[in-house]
Amino acid sequence: MPNKLITELTLQELDYFVASIEGLTFAPDAEGNTLQVADDKQVFVKNKDGRVFAYRPTRNWRLGGPLLQKHNISIQKVGPKWVADVDREACAIANHALTAAMRALVMLKFGESVHVP
């Protein structure tokens, strides 16, 4: 499959790339978290206690909110859209604040496009 522009990623695909930036992998990390990707591309994390939760930083402020501070992402509402930037090195626009922020983060780490597995 050819590369896909970050702006064309589905929310599930965007969540997947944010998980990779955050070090969530298919093997247990230092905290015992393991990444799981369902057939429909939704991302889940299984913690060391065996509990599984949806990993949706593009839609869940409890997951995505701390990433704004961690990665120095700023967001601003401009008309009906949200604009996010990371230290003026990557900028993204979306209809929702967290989507714009996660797009900017993925752009910073991977560039304008990514290979979607």
> What is the pLDDT tens value at each position of the chain, 117 positions in all?
579 999 999 999 999 999 989 887 777 777 787 888 887 778 888 888 889 989 999 999 999 999 999 999 999 999 999 999 999 999 999 999 999 999 999 999 999 999 987
Q: Name the CA dihedral angle for 13, 14, 20, 22, rounded to a multiple of 10 degrees.
A: -150
Long-range contacts made by residues 97-101, C-beta under 8 angstroms, separation at least 24? 98/57, 98/58, 98/59, 98/60, 98/61, 98/64, 98/65, 99/11, 99/14, 99/58, 99/59, 100/75, 101/64, 101/67, 101/68, 101/73, 101/75
| pTM confidence score | 0.87
